[in-house]
Amino acid sequence: MDTAPTITQEPDEPDCADRFTRVQSSAEFGELRRSHRSFAFPLTVAFVAWYLLYVLLSNYAGDFMGTTVVGNINIAFVFGLAQFLTTFLIAWWYSRHAAAKIDPKAEALKAGLEASK
């Protein structure tokens, strides 16, 4: 027995796919995507490069990574902790960027989409 609700569309209501396609092709949506990409892609590339540097140094520069900084703490340990620190910093920085630049644009698009129902 099928208990899924049946969704009916009013005859004068535009098709949902048409509304979404219209929003997706709008300049506002393009600006929203640019705001996200201009922040996320460069930071992702930088973080992956930083991570790969850590891995490569760990594999091929053992003497350097084994250099003692203080006590039993060496450069490899400091770099490993820095990986965690940069992860949290990037997450914090992105949340600020999203709140300031992305969320207002997304809310405006959402409001426009809901108003066109």
Token pair 């590339």 is found at: 45
Q: What is the pLDDT of residues 58-73, one digit of tens each?
A: 999 999 999 999 999 9
Q: What is the pLDDT of residues 73-104, one digit of tens each?
A: 999 999 999 999 999 999 999 999 999 999 99
Q: What is the pLDDT of residues 13-28, one digit of tens each?
A: 557 778 888 888 889 9
Residue 1: pLDDT band (50, 70, 90) is low
Query: Residue 68: enclosing H or E segment and its boundaries?
Result: strand 68-70
Which is more confidently placed, 17 or 56?
A: 56
Residue 3: pLDDT band (50, 70, 90) is low
Which is more confidently placed, 13 or 31?
A: 31
For residues 95 and 86, is the Cβ–Cβ distance under 8 A? no
Question: Average pLDDT in the 48-54 region?
Answer: 96
For residues 28 and 38, is the Cβ–Cβ distance under 8 A? no
> How confident is the model at residue 11, as a pLDDT?
43
Nearest to 82 by CA among 92, 94, 70, 90: 90
> Is 70 exceeded by the pLDDT of residue 10?
no
